[in-house]
Amino acid sequence: MTPTTVIGICGGSGSGKTTIVRKISELVKDFVFIPQDNYYKSAEYISNANITAFNFDHPEAFDNDLIIRHLEALRRGEVIEMPTYDFVHHRRRQETITMASRKIIIFEGIMVFTNKEVRDLIDLKIFVDTPDDIRFIRRLIRDIKERGRTVDSVVEQYLNVVRPGHYQFIEPTKAYADIIIPEGGANERALNVLVTFIKSVVGD
């Protein structure tokens, strides 16, 4: 069995985690990408009008049992059926994505370090540290363009659950990080170090 290395990329919403993954993908091909967002629990009753009725910024918003099973399976070299999530209707889709294991597994999300069982499956922990105002602007633009949200609902959710959740659950997990990357995907030097490490693992 080919040994695998799990890299966890954590940081607040809009910190630049996905940008880092995209830039890695431009230089390294032999990895599998597992976004934590795909493992949200369904909350079909949510709408713009009651957006804070389900707290997406709490560790229990994720199906951690399934995350653990899938990471363990990938580490064993097995294939998984990764869930997909509909962020407009706030529910898990019926469709899954078949994901084969690779030498590198990149697990990315806002709370990938909050659960100890999940954290213990991650070999290299990276925290993306980006200022609050930048993260909020990115989130606002994304949620309006991609998720059918209104400005008022984004602001309400940010003030009532996203910001408090960040400081209660996400920011403290910075202490578990092996590497802290300021400014996310804009930090070219940190990205170069990370890509060099990944290439050394996959043998590129």
Its domain, for residue 53, covers 5-199
pLDDT tens digits, residue range 83-105?
999 988 889 999 999 999 999 99
Instruction: Kindly compute the dihedral angle of the four CA atoms of residues 182, 84, 86, 36, in this order, to the nearest 10 degrees.
Output: -30
The whole model's pTM is what?
Answer: 0.87
Residue 192 has pLDDT above 90, yes or no: no
Measured CA to CA, the distance from residue 84 to residue 191 in angstroms comes to 28
Q: How many CB atoms lie within 10 A of CB 155?
A: 14
Does residue 18 form part of some domain?
Answer: yes
Angstrom distance (rounded) from CA 83 to CA 18: 18
- Total domains in the chain come to 1
Q: Is residue 164 part of a domain?
A: yes
Please tell me what DSSP assigns to residue 158. I
Per-position DSSP letters for 26-49, written without gaps between them: HH--SEEEEEGGGGBPP-TT--GG
C-alpha R_g of the chain: 17
For position 162, which CATH number holds? Answer: 3.40.50.300
Q: What is the pLDDT of residues 144-191, one digit of tens each?
A: 988 888 999 889 889 988 899 999 999 999 999 998 988 766 778 888
Q: Is residue 33 part of a domain?
A: yes
Residue 204: inside a domain: no
Q: What is the pLDDT of residue 51?
A: 63
